[in-house]
Amino acid sequence: MPLPQARQQIIADLAQRTLRHQEDIQNALFSGSLGQPGSPLNLLADGDSWFDYPLDENGRWGMWGKHFDVIAHLQTLSSKPLILNLAHYGDATTTELGYTRVKKMTDAIRNPANGPFDAILFSGGGDDVAGDQFCIWLNDAASVQNDPTKALNDARFNAVLDLIKASYSDLVGFRNDELGPEIPIFVHGYDFAIPSGEGVYCFGPWLKPSLDYCGWTDLAQATQIVH
C-alpha cells in the first residue's frame, strides 16, 4: 500500500474506533451504568501490535479460532471494558509517545464524548529493539570470539533502552498532567523468546535473521543472547 494511502487508512481506522467508542459511551450513559460500581471500565489504549495485530480476523473469532492481540481478547471478557484503542502495529515507543500520538491521546482525554477514563493501557518497547534493526545492537560473533555473553553491543543497546525509559517516563508525566497520578497505567511484560525463526500468523521472525546475519547461528547460543 502506498505511504499516503496507508496514512489515510490509519486515520480512517482511528476515526472509526473513536466513533465506536463514543457510541459505547453513549449507550452506557443511557443505561445509567457508566461509572457505577461493577460497571465496565473505560480504558485508553496506546501501543504496538500487542494491541493492534494486523490481521483481518482480529476482533472476532476467526478461522484459527483465536484472537491475535490483547485488546481483542479483553473485549471477550464477561465484564467487557470500553476501550478507545489508539495503538498501531509496528510502532516504537518514540512514535507512541511522540507529538502526534500524544496529541491524539490528549484530544481523546479532553473530549467529553469519550467519557472519563479509568486507566491507561500501554504496550511499548518490543519494536524499538526487535525486527530488522536488531542486528544494530549485536556484535559480530567472530569479533568477540563467538562468546554469547559479549554478543550485545552494550553501548548501543543501552542507548536504545534509555530511549525506551524516557518514553515510559514521559507517559507517566502525561498521565499525571492529563488524568492525575491516581489513574493506573497497565503494561505487559515480555517472556523470553526462543529465536527459532518462526513468525506468528503471517509476520516475523523478528530475531533470528539478525542473529544469523551477525554469525550467531547456533540456537542455544542465540537463545542465551535473547535471554
**Residue 129 three-state SS:** helix
Q: Which amino acid is at 200?
A: V
How confident is the chain (227 residues) per 10-residue block, as mean pLDDT?
70 89 92 79 91 62 58 84 91 90 95 96 91 95 97 96 95 97 91 82 82 96 94
pLDDT of residue 7: 73
DSSP 16: H
Cell numbers given for 114: 469519550
Residue with cell 547460543: 221
pLDDT of residue 3: 55
- pTM of the predicted model as reported, rounded to 2 decimal places: 0.85
Tally of domains in the chain: 1
**What's the length of the chain?**
227
pLDDT of residue 60: 41
pLDDT of residue 166: 96
Check the CA dihedral 101-106-107-111 and report its sign: positive
CA angle (161 as vertex; 155, 162 as ends), nearest 5: 90
Check the CA dihedral 165-166-170-173 and report its sign: positive
pLDDT of residue 50: 83
Q: Rounded to an integer, what distance in angstroms lies between the CA atom of residue 183 and that of residue 169?
A: 15
pLDDT of residue 33: 77
Determine the straight-line distance between the first and last CA of the chain, rounded to whole angstroms. Answer: 36
Domain that holds residue 144: 3-226
